[in-house]
């Protein structure tokens, strides 16, 4: 086979690879395929291609797709770079979540070749080849690993709670898988937070969410409710999480699992039956208690005041 034919074949394979990478190649891949540095510069000057970051090239001049951005982030990080944390979750299919900067992890000691505004490439002691999802394209950490790290690395506890919960609710990972990964974390600032969250997600928290609500109500100076009250209605009997009998107010605590499809209908039937029987029914999701507690406590207090309670009033009977 002639040298020119070999070069054409290698270039064709390179462009086919670019198609699988969202139209993006790193310069090392281009040079390995037989393109000279001068040829790459000529394509860029002629505006047939465009530079992406410091080390990558898009073999077109159109807008970059999400896949292209993820691939370029990994390629900028070097040969052992992987998408990690919330960026890995997005690559795995997490929807309705914007990670902002694309997080890429490289092993400790690796040279970080790029520090841009849209890509966050970091050395991490947690990097392990066994944590990479087999066959992932672009390379990313396994979903359970990514979810735990997303929680550990989130800017705030609120964001940590949100991203881990979304990963479970969208069926990307199970609470059991998260628990197994958490056991590998020996020291981390949010280990306890994530442990409690995983317990709630697993449905094994029992009254954990209710105890949190009781503490919040007491901290707000609101009257003590009755707990786990059996209420008989025309459509059946239901246990209510909290009820202030004197003020005709019911507060139902929704664990994370209450938002799942199989629970929605039963919760709605119970809610409507109690409401038609005369009580005001408020719902407080455990996730809401973690993210925006004051908004929900304001609603509980307003409902009690409308029913006649005041700061000096007696507790519910």
SS3 percent helix, strand, coil of the chain, rounded to 5, is 50, 15, 35
**DSSP codes, 198-214:** HHHHTT--TTHHHHHHH
pLDDT 10s digits, 142-168:
999 999 999 999 999 989 988 998 898
Backbone angles phi, psi at 252, to 5 degrees: -100, 130
CATH of domain 208-306: 3.40.960.10
Q: What is the pLDDT of residue 274?
A: 54
Distance CA 23, CA 179 (A): 38
| pLDDT for 233 beyond 70 | no
* H-helix or E-strand spanning residue 274: helix 261-276
**Gap between the terminal Cα atoms of the chain:** 93
Average pLDDT, the chain: 83
pLDDT in tens, 49-87: 999 988 999 999 999 999 999 999 999 998 899 999 999
Consecutive H or E run containing 180:
helix 175-182
pTM, 2 dp: 0.69
Other C-beta atoms lying within 10 Å of the C-beta of residue 233: 16
Q: Which residues pair with 83 in a beta bridge?
A: 104, 140
Q: Which of 63, 69, 66 is nearest to 93 (CA)?
A: 66
Which residues of the chain does CATH 3.40.960.10 include? Answer: 208-306
Q: Is 22 left (phi over 0), alpha (psi -120 to 50) or beta?
A: left
Instruction: Output the CA torsion sign for 25, 31, 34, 37.
Output: positive
Token pair 């442990």 in the structure block, residue: 195
Percent of the chain at pLDDT above 90? 45
pLDDT tens digits, 108-144: 877 776 666 789 998 888 888 899 999 999 999 999 9
Q: What is the pLDDT of residue 262?
A: 40
User: Under DSSP, is residue 48 helix (H, G, I), strand (E, B) or coil?
Assistant: coil
pLDDT score of 302 more than 50: yes
Name every residue whose Cβ is closer than 8 Å to that of residue 157 and which is 6 or more positions away in sequence: 190, 193, 290
Which is more confident, 196 or 312?
196
Per-residue DSSP letters for 52-108?
ETTTEEESSSSPPPHHHHHHHHHHHH-TT-EE-HHHHHHHHT--S---SSEEEEEET
The model's confidence at residue 20, banded by pLDDT at 50, 70 and 90, is: very high
Question: How many Å apart are CA 130 and CA 121, to the nearest integer?
Answer: 19
What are the C-alpha distances in Å from 90 to residues 41, 75, 100, 259? 33, 17, 11, 21
pLDDT value at residue 205 = 43
* 3-state secondary structure at position 141: strand
Q: Report the C-alpha gap between 170 and 290 in whole angstroms.
A: 19
> Any idea of the CA torsion for 61, 65, 68, 72, to the nearest 10 degrees?
80
Is residue 258 predicted with pLDDT exceeding 80?
no
Tokens 């001049």: give the residue. Answer: 61
CB count within 10 Å of CB 251 equals 23
């Amino acid at each position: 086979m002639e040298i020119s034919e070999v070069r054409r074949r290698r270039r064709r394979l390179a462009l086919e690879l670019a198609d699988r990478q969202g139209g993006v190649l790193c310069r090392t891949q281009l040079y390995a395929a037989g393109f000279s540095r001068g040829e790459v510069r000529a394509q860029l000057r002629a505006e047939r291609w465009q530079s992406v970051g410091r080390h990558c090239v898009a073999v077109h001049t159109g807008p970059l797709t999400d896949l292209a951005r993820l691939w370029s982030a990994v390629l900028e990080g070097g040969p052992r770079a992987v998408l990690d944390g919330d960026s890995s979750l997005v690559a795995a299919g997490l929807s309705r979540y914007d990670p902002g900067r694309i997080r890429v992890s490289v092993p400790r000691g690796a040279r970080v070749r790029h520090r841009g505004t849209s890509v966050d490439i970091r050395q991490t002691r947690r990097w392990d080849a066994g944590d990479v999802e087999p066959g992932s394209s672009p390379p990313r950490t396994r979903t359970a690993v990514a979810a735990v790290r997303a929680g550990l690395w989130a800017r705030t506890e609120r964001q940590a709670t949100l991203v881990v919960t979304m990963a479970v609710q969208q069926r990307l990972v199970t609470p059991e898988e998260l628990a197994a990964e958490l056991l590998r974390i020996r020291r981390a600032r949010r280990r306890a937070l994530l442990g409690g969250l995983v317990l709630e997600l697993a449905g094994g928290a029992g009254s954990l969410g209710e105890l949190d609500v009781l503490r919040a109500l007491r901290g707000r100076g609101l009257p003590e409710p009755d707990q786990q009250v059996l209420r008989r209605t025309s459509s059946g009997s239901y246990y209510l999480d909290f009820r202030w009998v004197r003020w005709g107010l019911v507060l139902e605590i929704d664990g994370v699992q209450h938002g799942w499809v199989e629970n929605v209908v039963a919760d709605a039937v119970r809610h409507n039956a109690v409401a038609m029987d005369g009580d005001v029914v408020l719902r407080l999701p455990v996730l809401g208690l973690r993210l925006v507690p004051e908004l929900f406590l304001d609603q509980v207090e307003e409902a009690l005041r409308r029913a006649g309670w005041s700061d000096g009033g007696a507790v519910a009977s």
